[in-house]
Chain A
């Protein structure tokens, strides 16, 4: 083992869903205790911790983790909307690569209110007065334009939801574990045309944790070691900014490089890998169309071709490019601070070969992708 390699020594989850009688501290502790057990390590071996959440109060990291042992290590809360977990991984990685830390705990936990997210968090009062403060509206307009430009169909968008719901049946950490037919998805209520209820991810609760160590601190066991090969965090550039400012969008399409593309390029460069090397993807399926767009921006296909990957079942479990075999956020729900770490937990299981009925055969490289408010985007690549 190269001493500079960053190894995922342990992973842990609290299921994603609704847990009215479980506190955020309990959610986070469940995940990190599971990750420590998985690593065969104790809390007093951890040199630093990063805690990602968007909706929890200040110092939630310390409140969650200090009770495991008041060892005096730095515990920092981080936030970048849907990409919060990516920031936590990135900070941990930099501390480990520099050699300042030998072992870092990365923990994401979230407890979000039911229903639409409170628009006051991201919209100005005048937008709320005008009634344009609807989150799915922006994703939906991207979808309608894509359908117009490339002939993408409602059936293909719904096909993403059918696929992810089918995958979720085997995931004990998912909120919804039920199969839906194409007819059922297309028959579900329109929320913002063309996006339907069964194609959207729900904000919810849950937690996920990673124990990351430098190669020289890694105690080999009988499992194949999984390394963090690359991690990048970016914010959308002005011309590519679909989400904020939410009142407008530059019409200079030629200058547009999507944040997903920029983050993936940077992460692949660190990893010395390309998209063709990836065995399985976990991507931000805020809605069915968002996943299709991620195919194009990650380079799984040319712009405009993503719907055909659904038709040809390329991104299903068993296909050449499996995407969201965990069920994706459409099935798991999206506890924003924990979602990216949950993706990495899934990929580590895939690379260890312990994913059971949803195992991707021979998985060696995994890519996790999140994208959200203000154009916050993160991509993490793991490899065996």
Chain B
């Protein structure tokens, strides 16, 4: 039996409390700034060492976007994203935060304000047979 799927970036995408996946981050208890991911020890906004782990709901709206027209550079195990591929800054519904993610949305439908939700994309199968997944958002009815 193959091991369970795992996140390509466990500090940013992790198994959710109710099954499935969720985006993760930290919140500063001193200044209330919200951060994407769990790599920070000090709050970059105020400098306090008072960050607490949070999970995000995974719903948001496109705040801005672009469209990748060429294969992205660099070595990767995953297949290149299908082109043209929209990339977006998605503003989360439950945090003053915009996260930079690929969209599984046809280019002609992408617009600022489009409601979207987390829908992780299988990237590649690891050496031990585990599916590795990455962050991606898809359109959702509001």
User: Which chain A residues have a beta carbon within 8 Å of chain B's beta carbons?
Assistant: 115-120, 123-124, 126, 128-134, 136-138, 140-142, 144-145, 148, 189-195, 238-239, 245-252
Contact = CB atoms under 8 A, between A and B. Distances in A.
Given A133-B74, A190-B69, A148 B96 contact: no
Contacts of B70: 191
Given A131-B76, A190-B67, A239-B45, A248 B112 contact: no
A138 B100 CA distance: 9
Contacts of B68: 131, 134, 137, 192
Interface in B87-107: 87-89, 91, 95-102
A189 B69 contact: yes
A254 to B, nearest CB: 10
Contacts of B87: 132, 134, 137, 141, 192
Contacts of B97: 248-251
A133 B74 CA distance: 8
B3 to A, nearest CB: 18
Nearest to B90: A248
Contacts of B36: 245, 247-248
Interface of B: 8-9, 12, 33-37, 44-45, 63-70, 72-78, 80-81, 85, 87-89, 91, 95-102, 112, 121, 123-124, 132, 134-136
B65 A132 contact: no
Given A126-B134, A193-B67, A248 B100 contact: yes
B102 A131 contact: yes
B72 A250 contact: no
A247 to B, nearest CB: 5
Nearest to B91: A251
A191 B70 CA distance: 7
B9 A126 contact: yes
A126 B8 contact: yes
A359 B90 CA distance: 45
Contact of A192 (B33, B34, B67, B135): B67
A116 B73 contact: yes
Nearest to A126: B9
Nearest to A136: B66
B69 A132 contact: no
A55 B95 CA distance: 38
Contacts of B64: 141-142, 144-145, 148
B74 A251 contact: no
A126 B39 CA distance: 14
Contacts of B89: 141, 249
A240 to B, nearest CB: 11
Contact of B72 (A131, A144, A248): A131
B130 to A, nearest CB: 14
Contacts of B81: 130-131
A118 to B, nearest CB: 7
Contact of B85 (A116, A120, A131, A133): A131
Of B34, B76, B123, B136, the most chain A CB neighbours within 10 A belong to B76
27 contacts: A115-B73, A126-B134, A128-B74, A128-B76, A129-B78, A130-B123, A130-B135, A131-B68, A131-B85, A131-B102, A133-B72, A133-B74, A137-B68, A138-B100, A141-B87, A141-B89, A142-B64, A145-B63, A145-B64, A193-B67, A247-B12, A248-B100, A249-B98, A250-B33, A250-B96, A251-B97, A252-B33
Nearest to B95: A251
Contacts of A126: 8-9, 12, 134
Nearest to B81: A131
Contacts of A145: 63-64, 112
Given A141-B64, A238-B33, A192 B69 contact: yes
Contacts of B95: 251
A251 B63 CA distance: 10
Contacts of B73: 115-119, 133-134
Contacts of A115: 73
Of A131, A141, A251, the most chain B CB neighbours within 10 A belong to A131
A55 to B, nearest CB: 16
A118 B74 contact: yes
Of B8, B34, B64, B85, the most chain A CB neighbours within 10 A belong to B64
